[in-house]
């Protein structure tokens, strides 16, 4: 009997690393935009934010994130929730993102 791979948070985050903020060219994980990843029986719910509440690209970024995660093996459904609390700050940037932005 073949074993089914278990879907992990790392699988989801790796998929989300393929989604770039179109203005900054940095992925949403390194930007610190991903707040929560919940997985239950193949259903994934992601709470994410954007750098500013008025971001005109919010729908585009959310759709890209949905597509990326929905294509991961083992994912049966994906829900992306855009949240504004806690508010995003540059402190959430990964070291890689800081380097790309020249903030090191």
Residue 71, SS3 per DSSP: coil
Integer Cα distance of 94 and 70 in angstroms: 24
Instruction: Cite the beta strand spans of 54-99 per DSSP E.
Output: 77-82
Residue ranges making up the domain that contains 13: 9-91
Say if 96 falls within a structural domain.
no
Global confidence as pTM: 0.91
**Along the 104 residues of the chain, how does pLDDT read in single tens digits?**
445 578 999 999 999 999 999 989 999 999 999 999 999 999 999 999 999 988 888 999 999 999 999 999 999 999 999 999 999 999 999 999 999 999 87
Integer Cα distance of 21 and 9 in angstroms: 21
Say if 104 falls within a structural domain.
no
Distance in angstroms between the alpha carbons of the first and the last residue of the chain: 50
| Tally of domains in the chain | 1
- CATH classification of the domain holding 58: 3.30.300.130
Number of H helices, E strands in the chain: 3, 3
- Cβ atoms within 10 A of the Cβ of 49, count? 23
Say if 22 falls within a structural domain.
yes
């Amino acid at each position: 009997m073949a074993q089914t791979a278990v879907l992990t948070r790392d699988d989801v985050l790796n998929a989300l690393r393929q989604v770039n903020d179109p203005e900054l060219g940095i992925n949403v994980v390194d930007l610190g935009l991903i707040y929560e990843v919940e997985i239950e029986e193949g259903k994934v719910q992601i709470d994410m934010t954007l750098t500013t509440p008025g971001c005109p690209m919010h729908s585009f970024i959310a759709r890209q994130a949905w597509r990326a995660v929905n294509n991961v093996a083992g994912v049966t459904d994906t829900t992306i929730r855009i949240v504004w609390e806690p508010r995003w700050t540059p402190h959430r940037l990964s070291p890689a993102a800081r380097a790309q932005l020249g903030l090191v």
